[in-house]
Chain A
Amino acid sequence: MRILIRDAEILDSTSKHHLKRKNILIENGVITFIGSRIPKADKVIKGKDLKASKGWFDMFAWFGDPGFEVKEDLESGTNAAAHGGFTGVALLPNTKPVIQTKNDISYLLSGNPGRITEVFAVASVTENNLGEDLTEMIDLHTAGAVAFSDGLKPIWLTDIMLRSLQYLKKFDGLLINKPEDLRLNMFGVMHEGKTSTGLGMKGMPRLAEEVMIARDLQLLAYTGGKIHLANISTPNALNMIRKARKNGLRVTCDVAAHQFVLDDTRLHDFDTHYKVNPPLREQADIQALIAGLKDGTIDAIVSSHQPQDEECKKLEFDYASFGMTGLQTVLPYMQGISGKIGWDTLIEKVTSNPRKILNLEDIPVQKGNKANITIFDPEDTWLFDEKTNMSKSGNSPLLGKELKGKVVAVFNNKKHLIIG
């Protein structure tokens, strides 16, 4: 089948067509033509302001498979990912059982040949995510784990963090830590600030994130190796990372897409959809995060997809679970800041950068290459509702809303998805 993408701006700094408007022809999963003339095709994709990039990659998402399939399984999760523009997604190990043996990894990866969105495994650093005993990381690496992390949980014990970093050096493995001092955040349900004070809710101070980042960077300076700090949310966190990089430390970081747009005042009426960890912070934090995207301190934008069923969200605020779905709303959130940051920069944060961090193949949008491509229209709108939501869960504050920024098509693995 020949599919033609008409008049799309190519956003790929590794391609010679970067920032040029071209027609792209894809035949049986391969890019066979990029140019100005209009080749014959079986299907033509058109739009007002189409953009084409490498297929997007999300390096921080959680599916409940295995164990919590009622929230999200591999099929629904990868489908949501594809509809969100992602052709690759790295899954967190906080499942039941935890992803910590080569069998667990092959369970995740075995379906990949049939998937348009391929799944990559982040294996647990510690047994059962308990933060105490190291998993067999060399074996897990051999089985295909792309990184090691306790996922949604921070690596709490300092000595365990130290030994993980040391152990991973054998194969220059990547440790991902979501920094959070659990004692400083104890019983916290939202960002600590004016809003939480007025709402009488226990706060999660910026300090809780920063204290652990300071610790992690000290440890990294001691051990060498590399670390990726996940879901950063404060200006000071960014400053520490900037400084560490200047000093030669190999540290990267990501920020959840919603964190660039939503602030803590959204919680004014106790809507549990906004209960996330790290919590939504303040406008000043948002501005600092946007600056961090611009100057390159923030390497990746992630979905931080955390589907929760209604039973976990339709509750009193204290009792509701943390997390919102994110895979299908990364583009609308990026759209929200695209006035301040160019699309070419934004797209790098969901394509080449996460792949580089995870040491994965990054295929340019170039004639003769395998088609691993996302086509989107930042100006087009769509309704995000029960029908278009592909996740099993609906815990997004955007559900039911008309959103700007539409994924039009994704190509990968000789497959394609065209979204009507």
Chain B
Amino acid sequence: MSQLSVRHLLGIKELTIDDIELIFETASNFKEIINRPIKKVPSLRDITIANVFFESSTRTRLSFELAEKRLSADVINFSSSTSSVKKGETLLDTVNNILAMKVDMVVIRHSSPGAPHFLARHIKANIVNAGDGTHEHPTQALLDTFSMRLHFGSLKGLKVAIIGDIMHSRVAISNIFALQKLGAEVMVCGPNTLIPIHISELGVKVELEVRKALEWCDVANILRIQLERQQIKYFPSLREYALYYGVNKQLLDSIKKEILIMHPGPINRGVEISSDVADSDHSIILEQVENGVAIRMAVLYLLADSPLAN
């Protein structure tokens, strides 16, 4: 198999295990390439990619842009603060205007769940979901599981705890889907008000005590408190959150096993994770960032090869 089963990367849910394996395999090759002195390959020459970001982003946008440039694609960037969206233009009109300039692929980030699916239904271009509201963030989950795989060899039976604001996290949902497809066990942990009440129906364990979650897991994926996505108050204060849900060195040291620490960034140091944990040997936070470029190169490369692009 050398082609994905999908024309768009809308979410992990739509991917088969074979798709994920193919992305990993391709990402491994690209990871090797980007560590060479000459990092650029001509794979996407003459392909134009629009990065359309309707929500602020630093690392994901840079990571995509870098991946695109390493593949020799032509890149245009667009963010909503400078767009006509604020003048009342619809998403569809905005993107169609961009496509009229002959764009082949659209990488979209949007605050509304399903916005990439909506675009995929209405426009002719490959769509890559770079995060849709509180729904999915597939490239993040791919790079997370890819990073775990590099560490553990296989994810079968691996115990992964996702700790933090589960309700407002697209990383959590995409990770749950990806981890389950790859055979890992998943637990979510956080204040009960930030855990969707039906999450266990997705086949994950729920734990309200961080210590217990850490004692259970091999990997702790610590999520950022999404203050900007909380429309209602879900917990009393960051102080109390840091005290009772924050992961710090003292807590980790008191647990008699080694845990791999991950974080999708950006980090709120001193809130969900302390600096001494984020910067410790157990943390692979920066490795995740490096792998992100390789994963995104793989995704773009494989989608460009899908039937629609031809």
State whether A197 touches B199 (Cβ < 8 A).
yes
Which B residues are in CB contact (< 8 Å) with A205? 197
State whether A199 touches B135 (Cβ < 8 A).
yes
State whether A270 touches B198 (Cβ < 8 A).
no
Other A-B pairs, 16, CB within 8 Å; known A199-B135, A200-B132, A315-B90 = A186-B232, A192-B197, A193-B201, A197-B196, A198-B13, A198-B202, A199-B114, A200-B170, A201-B114, A269-B114, A269-B117, A270-B118, A314-B90, A314-B122, A316-B91, A318-B111
Interface residues of A (CB under 8 A from B): 186-187, 192-194, 196-203, 205, 269-270, 314-319
Q: Within 8 Å of chain A (Cβ to Cβ): is B58?
A: no
6 residue pairs bridging A and B, Cβ less than 8 Å apart: A187-B231, A196-B198, A200-B173, A270-B114, A316-B118, A318-B113
Which A residues are in CB contact (< 8 Å) with B65? none
State whether A194 touches B132 (Cβ < 8 A).
no
State whether A315 touches B113 (Cβ < 8 A).
no
Q: Return the contact of B91 from the options A198, A270, A315 (Cβ within 8 A).
A: A315
- The smallest beta-carbon distance between A266 and chain B, in angstroms, is 13
A-contacting residues, B94-143, CB 8 Å:
110-115, 117-118, 121-122, 132-136
Report how far A205 CA is from B170 CA in the complex, Å: 21
Interface size, chain B (Cβ < 8 Å): 30
- The smallest beta-carbon distance between A394 and chain B, in angstroms, is 16
Report how far A186 CA is from B230 CA in the complex, Å: 12
Which B residues are in CB contact (< 8 Å) with A201? 113-114, 134-135
Which A residues are in CB contact (< 8 Å) with B197? 192, 205
Interface centre among A192, A194, A316 (most CB of B within 10 A): A316
Which B residues are in CB contact (< 8 Å) with A317? 112-115, 118
State whether A200 touches B90 (Cβ < 8 A).
no
Which B residues are in CB contact (< 8 Å) with A194? 198, 201-202
Report how far A294 CA is from B69 CA in the complex, Å: 64
Q: Return the contact of B112 from the options A192, A197, A203, A318 (Cβ within 8 A).
A: A318
Q: Within 8 Å of chain A (Cβ to Cβ): is B92?
A: yes
Which B residue sits closest to A201, measured CB to CB? B113
Report how far A198 CA is from B134 CA in the complex, Å: 10
Taking chain A's interface residues, is the majority helix, strand, or loop, or is none over half, making it mixed? loop
Which A residues are in CB contact (< 8 Å) with B121? 269
Total A-B pairs, Cβ < 8 A = 71
State whether B201 touches A200 (Cβ < 8 A).
no
- The smallest beta-carbon distance between A371 and chain B, in angstroms, is 46
Which B residue sits closest to A272, measured CB to CB? B118
- The smallest beta-carbon distance between B74 and chain A, in angstroms, is 27
- The smallest beta-carbon distance between A238 and chain B, in angstroms, is 22
Which B residue sits closest to A183, measured CB to CB? B232
Which B residue sits closest to A202, measured CB to CB? B134
Which A residue sits closest to B110, measured CB to CB? A316
Which B residue sits closest to A316, measured CB to CB? B112
Say whether, besides A192-B197, A193-B201, A200 and B133 are in contact (CB < 8 Å). yes
Which B residues are in CB contact (< 8 Å) with A269? 114, 117, 121
Which A residues are in CB contact (< 8 Å) with B136? 200
State whether B118 touches A197 (Cβ < 8 A).
no
Say whether, besides A187-B231, A316-B112, A197 and B201 are in contact (CB < 8 Å). yes
- The smallest beta-carbon distance between A199 and chain B, in angstroms, is 6
Which A residue sits closest to B10, measured CB to CB? A269
State whether B114 touches A316 (Cβ < 8 A).
yes
Which A residues are in CB contact (< 8 Å) with B135? 199-201
- The smallest beta-carbon distance between A190 and chain B, in angstroms, is 10
Which A residues are in CB contact (< 8 Å) with B199? 197
Interface centre among A199, A200, A269, A314 (most CB of B within 10 A): A200
Report how far A200 CA is from B92 CA in the complex, Å: 22
- The smallest beta-carbon distance between A59 and chain B, in angstroms, is 33
Say whether, besides A186-B231, A200-B134, A192 and B198 are in contact (CB < 8 Å). yes
- The smallest beta-carbon distance between B237 and chain A, in angstroms, is 22
Which A residue sits closest to B196, measured CB to CB? A197
- The smallest beta-carbon distance between B116 and chain A, in angstroms, is 9
- The smallest beta-carbon distance between A2 and chain B, in angstroms, is 52
- The smallest beta-carbon distance between B162 and chain A, in angstroms, is 14
- The smallest beta-carbon distance between B6 and chain A, in angstroms, is 13
Which B residues are in CB contact (< 8 Å) with A316? 91, 110, 112, 114-115, 118
Which B residues are in CB contact (< 8 Å) with A192? 197-198
Report how far A151 CA is from B117 CA in the complex, Å: 33
Report how far A233 CA is from B66 CA in the complex, Å: 50
Which A residues are in CB contact (< 8 Å) with B201? 193-194, 197
Report how far A225 CA is from B221 CA in the complex, Å: 57
Which A residue sits closest to B203, measured CB to CB? A194
Which A residues are in CB contact (< 8 Å) with B117? 269-270
Report how far A187 CA is from B196 CA in the complex, Å: 14
State whether B114 touches A198 (Cβ < 8 A).
no
